[in-house]
């Protein structure tokens, strides 16, 4: 259950601002599926458009990181933030972009290891080494 209404296709068709975004999602992804996240955001067409355009610019348009790496970073943040929906949707996206079982196994190892050392460092309150204190 959600705290907002998930818009049906019929409702989206009847609202030009929402329809424009849903159409662009379908065209960009070459798929008929508009997933639930966008159907929830549709209650606020301004936020819907802004969020989709940012996502498209960051995750779909060519960038300095390749598409699979982008998904792995997204998955890592979503896992650490415990967002079940986002873990599922971005793991599915990573597989669609070619993530192999071996790559996913390696990813899981890193996520576990990072959480482990994060916890040890925080519990011991280790100070940052001077050697790391060099900005770009």
Residues 116-135 that bind a copy of itself (CB under 8 A): 116-129, 131-135
Structure tokens at 116: 């482990």
Q: Is 82 in the site for a copy of itself (CB under 8 A)?
A: yes
Q: Under rule CB under 8 A, which residues in 36-75 are in contact with a copy of itself?
A: 36-37, 40-41, 43-44, 46-47, 50-51, 54-55, 57-59, 63-65, 69-70, 72-75
Least distance in Å: CB of 71 to a copy of itself? 9
Q: Are 38 and 48 in contact (CB under 8 A)?
A: yes
Q: Is 117 left (phi over 0), alpha (psi -120 to 50) or beta?
A: alpha
């Amino acid at each position: 259950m959600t705290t907002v209404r998930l818009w049906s296709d019929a409702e989206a068709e009847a609202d030009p601002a929402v329809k424009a975004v849903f159409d662009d999602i379908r065209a960009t992804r070459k798929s008929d599926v508009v997933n639930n996240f966008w159907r929830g955001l549709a209650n606020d067409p301004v936020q819907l458009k802004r969020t989709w355009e940012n996502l498209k610019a960051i995750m779909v348009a060519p960038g300095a990181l390749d598409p699979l790496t982008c998904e792995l970073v997204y998955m890592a943040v979503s896992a650490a933030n415990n967002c079940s929906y986002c873990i599922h949707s971005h793991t599915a996206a990573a597989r669609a972009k070619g993530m192999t079982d071996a790559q996913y196994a390696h990813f899981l190892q890193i996520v576990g290891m990072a959480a482990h050392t994060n916890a040890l460092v925080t519990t011991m309150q280790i100070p940052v080494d001077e050697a790391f204190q060099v900005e770009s």
